[in-house]
Each structure stands twice: as structure tokens, then as C-alpha cells.
Structure 1
Amino acid sequence: MNVAEALGRALVAEGAAQVFGVVGSGNFHITNAIVEAGGRFVAARHEGGAATMADAYSRMGGGVALLSVHQGCGLTNAMTGIAEAAKSRTPLLVLAAEVTNRQSNFWVDQTALAESVGAVSARITSADTAVEQGVAAFRRARDDRRTVILNLPLPVQAMEAGHGSTSRNVDAHVADEPVAPTDEDVARLVAALRDADRPVFVAGRGARGPGCREALEALADRVGALVATSAVAKGLFNGNPWSLDVSGGFSSPLAAELIHGADLIVGWGCALNMWTTRHGRLVGEDTRVFQVDLERSAIGAWQDRAEGVIGDVRVTAERALVDATAADGYRSPEVRDRIAAEVRWRDVPYDDEGTDDRIDPRTLTIALDDLLPAERILAIDSGNFMGHPSMFLSVPDEHGFCFTQAFQSIGLGLATAIGAALAQPNRLPVAAVGDGGLLMGVAELETVARLGLPMVVVVYDDEAYGAEVHHFGPHGHVLDTVEFPPTDIAAIARGFGFEAITVRTAGDLGPVGAWLDGPRDRPLLIDAKVISQASWWLEEAFRGH
């Protein structure tokens, strides 16, 4: 067999079960080899969508996905999705065909492309070492949680595989033990917890692993800490009576008040960045800050005064529990009752600003939260609208919320929902997108319909790039470049094979219930004509600029 065939087989043998991509001449043979070896291939309609699908699939527990792209333009088309994955430390292996002739129209510096967005660059250099190098790249993606671009030169792909090119000849991998903190670091953390009267735990991406919730909740119960998450870990403490939900720009007024009132904040696998702390305003002037992280470079990257503990979140929490002193801490009957009554955004009173022609996005999202089944997986695009589905739609756990926002690109939401749906097939997939983002990635509506996914796509349609409207509009700037004429998005969706409805008032949502009660044999798109409304989270974000 040739190198492409041998490498495809070896990657499946290593555990790569899912590949996304758009197939061209340069990645045709390796993609087919993966399928013939038992892998599942999902064809996207654009490489950017394929990259985002692979990113979401890996994030949501489906295992390390592969992304297969054509040389040159196939890779450049995928780069926004790859940048999002790399910035999020998503374990993902990109199989990128590569030309070696600089006179070819397809030639670009693929190594420089990878490095420019923070991905790891690797290359197959010979037929004899192809499988070894390919498997090593897969393991690097998996074990180091990195996005790796594996360049596959066309001449090498076509060579006959050498003697060593079978997965049997690659040394078996032994998983590393979780990083344990030092005794000194644990002692410092335990002492800080003992001295704190109002501790708050903020769990991030690094706390989404097996056993982390249980370990953190046990320690929080011991020391009387309130618990919150960064946006990407939303749902981790779902059902906990002491949970403040998300810390940062999405925080409800009560959550922001209680986090700001903490005298100790511990970030668990959480960068405590400008979004999670509202540009630092949620951290009190005298609040002590700890970070538990695997990487020393993460300590203090956003909070200069942060004290660091280098270690795995679960292991560190379990170690700290052994010596932690029992205390009521921040937990009192009054705080518990206020959390129960006020911490959810849907419990915060508001004046409905809807009209006969346009629905208030808060009213829309609360109604959908009541209609849609609790076992859901929610994918959020970026844009002015995004705080509403993020905070008014509940999720069952940390694997029910897929938030691709590390690069802050709009247009990724629909593809995110596809990858997340395939990783969590027993949940109802819900894509929440703006009209601008949906139309950027509209081709993937065909992918949803072709795969038969019972997806609900909710379009918050204000006929504009709302973030720019509300950022520049108040200063008197002309907005012609960011406002658009009405578009019948429901009709577009029907053309792709969806059921679709247009919603202007809450009374228009009746067909959603009928769809949920039916066979769900076609996906559903809800084109919600929402009022143009500046969102609270965006106002918070712009304060830092």
C-alpha cells in the first residue's frame, strides 16, 4: 500500500474514529483509507465548517477528531476554525495535503500558517517513517491537548509504504499520570481557604475532565465556597444550590455582587481572563486570588496578583480536601435563598420591549427554554445576541454547552452545532445564531439536512451586525455598512430541506411544540425577528476597549 493508505489505517487503529473535511485530489486517498479502515467521514460544504465541526466534536467528548483538507486553499479555507481550536487547546489533528513545488498555484507556507494561529506544525518526511510520524502527531494532539497540523506532501503520499509503516511497529503509548501539585503548593492553598470568610471557586475549561465536578464540590462543601464557571464550562455545577452559574460578562446582577464580594477567588483550570472577571472588576481590591493550572505560564497571565498551584484540577482538589478545615464560609441561609430566587437571568425582572412585528430576545429565549427538552446540547455563535441563549437557555451539564469564542469569529455557530450533535447524539442539538453568522455559514444547512440531524436552529434576526450597530450608533456614525434589508431566512432554510417558521411574537412559537411532538425527521429553523437591543454583556465587553 502507499503512504496515504498506510497512514489512514494507522490513525484509525490508534483511535481516530471521526473525520470531517472537504475532499479534493490531495486528500482523496487518505480520507478514503480512513473510511475503509472503519472511520466515519462527514463531508462539510466548506473547509471552515469542517474545521469547526471537528473542533466541537472533540470538545464535547467525542474523542480526538480528524480534519482532512486539500493542499493550499483547502487549508486556508479552514484556518479560522483551526485558529479557534488552537486558541482553545482543542485536541485535533489536521491532515493537510501539501505541494512541494513553490511554482504550484497551491503552494503556501503551511508551516507558517499553523504557527501563526498557535497550532503545532508537523510533517511526514519519508515513506519509511510516515506511520510513526503520523501516530506521533495524533498522540501529541490527544495527550498535550493541542491542535496539530500534519502536512502530507503529495509525492510522499504516493510512495510505497516502507517496512515500518504499520501501526503494529509503533510503540504502545502509556498515558501520563495526572500532574500532582507539590505539598508546599497544597499547603498554601489550604491555608488560604482556612483564612477565607467568603471563598468563591471559578472552574474553567481545565475543570471539565472526569471527576473534577465531584472533587471541586466536595472541597467547596468543606470550606463553604460558592461555585461558578467560566463561559466555556457552563453547566458544570448544574443543580448545585450554591452555583452562581457563569462568572464574567454573562453574570446576573446577583452573581456579580457575590463574586465581587469574595475575599478569596480560586480559578480551577481557568485563566480568570478579562471576560471571566469583567476586565478585573469582579475581583475585589483586597481579594486574594489563586489559580490551579497545568501550565505555569497561565498563572498571573490576566491577574498579576494570582498565586499559582501547578497541578491537575481533580488531583489538587482531592489533595486539598484532606487537610481543609470545615467552615460555613460564604454559605448562609440568606445567600442560599437569594441564589435560588435571583441568580438566573430569567428570574431578573425586565420590561418586555417587543412589538407586534418584533419579539424581545429575552421573551423569545425564556419561551424556548420552557418548550425545548432539558436534555439538549446548545451551540452558540458569536454576536450581539449571544448572551441571551447563553444565559436564558439552561443546559444539563458541561457537555451540554459548546462555546467556540476563543477567536471571537461570527459564522461558526451552525458548524459548531453539527460537531457537537455528533459527539452527543442522544441530546437535542440547538444552534443559536445571529442572522449575520447564519448567512456566513449558510451552506452547512445542507449538511444538517443531509445527516438527518434533528436540530433546532434559532436565528436571532435583527437584520444587522448588531454589535457594530450598538457600538457605533450611539456616537452618531452612519450605519449603512452594517444594516441589511429584510431576508426571508425561513424560506432559505426550506430550500435546504428544513421545516421553518418565522416568529415575531411569542404566539408564533406554537409550531415548535408540534415539531417536538412529531417525528423530527427534518430539522427545524426558527427565524426570530428580534428587536434591535444592546445586550448587557456587550456593554461590559466594550468598557475594556
Structure 2
Amino acid sequence: MTTCGEFLVKQLEAWGVDTVFGIPGVHTVELYRGLPSSGIRHITPRHEQGAGFMADGYARVSGKPGVCFIITGPGMTNILTAMGQAYADSIPMLVISSVNERARLGLGKGYLHELPNQRALTAGVTAFSHTLMSVEELPGVLARAFAVFEGERPRPVHIELPLDIITADATHMTPAPRPTVRRPAPNRTLIREAAGLLKQAERPLLLLGGGCVAAEAEARALAAALDVPTALTINAKGLLPPGHPLLLGSNQSLRPVRDLALEADVVLAIGTELGETDYDVVFDGDFRLPGRLIRIDIDAQQLQRNFTPHLAIQGDARVAMRMLLAEFNPREVEPGSPGAKRTAAVQARLHEDFSGWAHYRQLFDCILDALPDARFVGDSTQTVYSGNHLVELDGARRWFNASTGYGTLGYGLPAAIGAKLAEPTRPVISLMGDGGIQFTIAELASAVEARVGIIVLLWNNAGYGEIKRYMQRRDITPIAVDIYTPDLLAIARGFGCAAERARDHVHLAELLRGAPHDRPLIIEVQEAAPFHP
């Protein structure tokens, strides 16, 4: 007999799933029956939150949904934080969980792992949640999930299988062909109206968000065709390369870029929420767009959030850019063009603002000199906050972190593991703080077990340094932020990792170039002992 659990594995494999993150339990062992005979790789985290973060990092790099097998009850409550981060950043994630037998659902009799309603728990962090009530439903529900991932704004989907369904007979089932789903194309009339506004603009501005990461070539061509200063959200870094004459960076919260936004007569925003964590990290509400705003987004509701547009266009970012490009003559970027001059003036002011950040710039220059093709996966920590402003990379999907949207701690380590599994040939650097890494430090064991050679750059300020400064700026006596910090290097070595404290930039570069390929390397940088070139 082929069980439903075995059939599920076959169906996932037929649709291109090659990796599953999960922790087996008595309620999910039947999901694992079919894995050994499949081509799917299983990665075992040490906590379900780690499973979700790994799936998130895997999805951001691969463009495919990250898939998790999760037990009933505590497995679901543990993974919710990771689902919240993925939901906030529009990341495709398929969470497949068990649930008690159909006849026992919602009875409150104290069955193992019982919750009143798992689907209610996931309602705020999923596109949808579904309880499978028959084996025959499975292909259709999976097709719905992949329609979310590939045809609309991607977000987590939760499918729960009752214990009696997991073991039900599915011998009569054959894997269904993968559905073909395409995101909607924008309305051509509205695209032409947008093109007309942009042609008449004297001071245009382009804002690109994470919804554009699959349209790198189109983004570069559009910025050049419009000759327009271009700001990128954190998840959009790399759409324009370092030194590009039209690149403003991810500095929308800083005064020079805000002044440019105030004077812009037409603003084109594509694939961006225009949300607080990209446009107002100083939390003063002073990012404003008084000019005519054109918004393009896959999500019709998002088109009306935060900033009301003059022209709202629903559709896929890549298709929309191609349609817009058809309305303009192609051109190369010219350093002396009006758009480049406007950008250069802003960059000169930003350079003055960054004059006190030289030690962070030297740190990232050292890293990129040693590993120029590195990918950075970050937590909420000082190196991430500074790098969000300072670092520019040639290529999308090379810089992402948990400082945006949901803003959880502990993300950077497991998400880096997922990123490395998705593209093993590229160096992956996890930017962590000593506080954040303690949330998910057990995932070092997962990385050693999976032979994943990531690099963890551990910024150690012996506590929650950023929150302490936040308190002090508000005349709050610091409390609960100077936490006990263990010997993190000794702990890392105990897990089987390589671990060193970098003395200076030369030593850091040596450590980076000599990082092992089959296990993590933790490099500690102490804030109290800043580097010297």
C-alpha cells in the first residue's frame, strides 16, 4: 500500500521540491516513510523556528518555496515566528503539519499535542491554511499553494494532515502534473498613461522593492531609459550595481534622499510596500511623496497602503517593466546626464552623513575584498543596520536580513544555512550579534551535521547594544540589556565549528579566505576593541 504520506513525498518531488526542513515526531513519522526512496534531501534543525528560518533563506535564494514538515501542537507554535517573518517579506513557504485524527479534532480531551484550532493560529501568517479531510484533496490543495507562490504575492501556506489521513491508502493516486501559473500582466492602457507621466516629468524618482528581484535586467534598463535616480529597499539590493550613476542606495530614511523625494514631480514605485522599515527607520514619519505617485504591485490591496497613488497598476513587476520599456527608447547610463547629476548631488551629501561610519565601511570593504561574491544573511544587529546603508552588491538576492518587516531576532544563522543549501558554491556570511545568536545557536549543530560551510560574523557588544542606546536616547535607565554573555567561541567549538576572534582586518581577511567548506566558521568581532586597518 502507498500511504498518503508517501504519496505526498512523490507529489512534492514531481513538482521540483528537492529539500525539506523538519524534526520528526511521533505524529509525523509517517510523512517520513517515503523520503529515503525519494531524491528529496532532509535537513534536521534543532528547533522548528530554525526550520522555518532555513526554509525562508532557501526560498529567497532559490526562488522556490521552502518546505517544512512540522509536528502537531508545539511544532506549529514554534514555527509561527518564522512564518511571520516570511509573511512580512512575501516569501514562499509551504508548512505541512500533522494534526490529531479527524474524529478527535477540537474536542479538548487532552490528546497528545492537542490544540483547539491550529489553523486559527496560522491565520495571520499565511495566505491560507487547509485541513486535509480526504486523500483525494491533496493534489488540488497543493496546486492552490503553488498558485500562491507563483501567481500572486507569495506568502506561507499551511496544510495540516490528520493522523488518520497520513496513513490512509493512496495507492489509487498518481502524481498530478505541476500546474502552470503566471502572474497577471498590467493593464496596457494604464502602463501607457504611466509612461506619459514619466515622459513629462522634470524631476522623476524610481523606488524599487523586493518584488523586483526577479527582474534585475529590466530594472537596470528601466533606470537607464528614464535617466532617473533610483532608491532600493533592503530586499532589492543589487538590482543596480555598486557605483551605478543612478543608484541612491537604501537610504530613504536619510535627509538627502528624503529631500529628493520631496522635490520629485513623478515617483514610480514598483514592488515595494513603501513601508516603515525601508523608508522610515528613524520612525519620525517624515518620508513624504508630494508628487504624482505611480505604484505597480502584484497585490491590489498593497497599492493603496501607506501612500495613496495617483495611478495604481496591478501586475507582475517584471512584465510591467518590460511593457514600460517598450514605451521608451533604450539608452545607456550616462554619468553626466540630468538624472546622474541629481544622484551625484545626493550621494555627496550622503558621504558627509556617513563620515562617522568609517569603521563599518572598512569592515565591509575587508570582507568583500576577501570574498567579493559573498552573500550576506543578517539578523537585527549593528553590522546589519550599518550595512543596509553602506553595502551595495552586484546582483539581487545577495543581501537580506530580519531588520525589515517583522524584525525577529535569531533569523540570521538558520536563514544563512538555508541560503547556503540553495546555492552551495557561493560564500554565505551570517551577520549576527551576541544577543541574537543565542536565540538559535543550536542550529550550529544542524549546520555541522549537514556539512554546511557558512561564515558567521559575530558582532559582540556583550548585550543588546542597540536597545541600550535606544533607551539612553529616551532618558530611560538601561535595564535588562547588559545581559550575561557566555564564551560563544567555546560554545561554537563544542558544536564542532571552527571559531576565532579576529584581531584586525588582516587577520579577518585570512580567516575569511581560509574558511572551511564543510562546517561553519564563527568569527567574533568585539565592539569594545574596534579594528584597525
Kept in 1, the 8 Å contact 2:216–2:396? The answer is no
Inter-CA distance 326–283: structure 2 relative to 1 (3 Å threshold):
farther
Indicate whether 1:106 and 2:110 are aligned: no
Equivalent residue for 1:218? Answer: 221
Matches within 5 A, 1:163-174: 163=172, 165-167=173-175, 170=176, 173-174=179-180
Shift of 1:2: 1.3
Structure 2 Cα separation of the partners of residues 407 and 528 of structure 1: 26
Q: Secondary structure at the match of 1:235?
A: coil
Contact 1:462 1:529 in 2 (8 A): yes
Name the counterpart of 1:368.
367
Q: Distance in 2 between matches of 1:500 and 1:461?
A: 14
Report how far residue 49 of structure 1 moved: 0.4
Range moving further from structure 2, 470-479 or 85-94: 470-479
Q: State the Cα distance separating 1:63 from its structure 2 match.
A: 1.8
> Which of 310-319 and 68-77 deviates more?
310-319
Q: Which residue of 1 aligns with 2:264?
A: 262
Q: State the alpha-carbon separation in 1 of the partners of residues 212 and 193 from structure 2.
A: 20
Structure 1 segments, 4+ long, off by >6 Å, are 325-330, 339-342
For residues 332 and 62 of structure 1, the distance between their equivalents in structure 2, rounded to whole angstroms, comes to 32
Q: Quick one: distance in 2 between partners of 1:340 and 1:482?
A: 35
Where structure 1 has 5 or more consecutive residues not aligned to the other structure, the ranges are 353-359, 534-545
Residue 135 of structure 2 aligns to a residue whose secondary structure is coil
Provide the aligned C-alpha RMSD in A: 2.9
Q: Determine if the alignment matches structure 1 residue 201 to structure 2 residue 209.
A: no
Deviation at 1:532, TM superposition (A): 11
Shift in Å, 1:407: 1.2
Structure 1 residues 514 and 14 mapped into 2: Cα distance closer, same or farther (>3 Å)?
Answer: closer
- Matched residue, 1:524: 521
Displacement of 1:157: 0.9
SS in 2 for 1:467: helix
Structure 1 residues 128-158: Cα deviation after superposition (integer angstroms, max 9, x where no partner): 4344434543444444423110101001111
Question: Are 2:130 and 1:122 equivalent residues in the alignment?
Answer: yes
AA in 1 matched with 2:278: T
Residues 206 and 268 of structure 2 are in contact (CA less than 8 Å); yes or no, is this contact kept in structure 1?
yes
Q: Equivalent residue for 1:146?
A: 155
CA contact (8 A) 1:367 1:506 kept: no
Residues 95 and 151 in structure 1, CA contact (< 8 A), matched pair in contact too: yes
Tell whether the 8 Å contact from 2:234 to 2:399 is kept in structure 1 after alignment: no
Conserved 8 A contact 1:462-1:532: no
Instruction: Name the structure 2 match of 1:26.
Output: 27
Where does residue 538 of structure 1 map in the other structure?
A: none
Q: Which deviates more, 139-148 or 38-47? A: 139-148
Measured in 2, the distance between the counterparts of 1:390 and 1:344 equals 15
Q: Which amino acid aligns with 1:219?
A: L
SS class of match (1:34): coil
SS of the equivalent of 2:222 reads: helix
Q: What SS is found at the alignment partner of 1:60?
A: helix
Aligned residue in 2 for 1:541: none
CA separation of 1:396 and 1:423: change in aligned 2, threshold 3 A: farther
CA distance in 2, matches of 1:126, 1:522: 43
Please tell me the residue identity of whatever aligns with 2:93. Answer: L
**Alpha-carbon displacement from aligned partner over 1:207-238 (angstroms, at most 9, x marks no partner):** 112xx232233233222212221111111111
CA change 1:116–1:48 in 2 (3 A) is same
Residue 161 of structure 1: aligned partner: 170
Q: Which residue of 1 aligns with 2:195?
A: 190
Corresponding residue to 1:275 among 271, 274, 277: 277
CA distance in 1, matches of 2:386, 2:442: 25
Q: Distance in 1 between matches of 2:310 and 2:433?
A: 37
Contact 2:229 2:339 in 1 (8 A): no
The DSSP-based 3-state class of the residue aligned with 1:406 is coil
* Partner Cα distance (1:468, 1:458) in 2: 20
TM-score (norm 1): 0.86
**Who is 1:428 aligned against?**
427
How many residue pairs get matched?
513
TM-superposed CA distance for 1:45, in Å, is 0.8
Which of residues 382, 386, 399 is equivalent to 1:388? 386
Contact 2:245 2:340 in 1 (8 A): no
Go from structure 1 to structure 2 and tell me whether the alpha carbon gap of 1:344 and 1:521 turns closer, same or farther (over 3 Å shift).
farther
**Counterpart AA for 1:77:** N
Alignment pair present for 1:401 and 2:368: no
1:348 lines up with 2:349 in the alignment:
no
TM-score (norm. length: structure 2) = 0.88
**Pair 1:281–1:401, CA change in 2 (3 A):** same
Post-superposition CA distance 1:54-83 (Å, at most 9, x none): 111111125222101111111111110011
In the alignment, the residues of structure 1 paired with residue 210 and residue 145 of structure 2 have an alpha-carbon distance, to the nearest angstrom, of 23
Equivalent of 2:238 in 232, 235, 245: 235
- Summarize deviations over 1:248-289 as a string: whole Å, max 9, x none: 33x5x65455444433221111111223332653435x3221
**Using the alignment, how far apart are the partners of 2:194 and 2:235 within structure 1?**
24
Shift, 1:310, TM fit:
1.7
SS at match of 1:241: coil
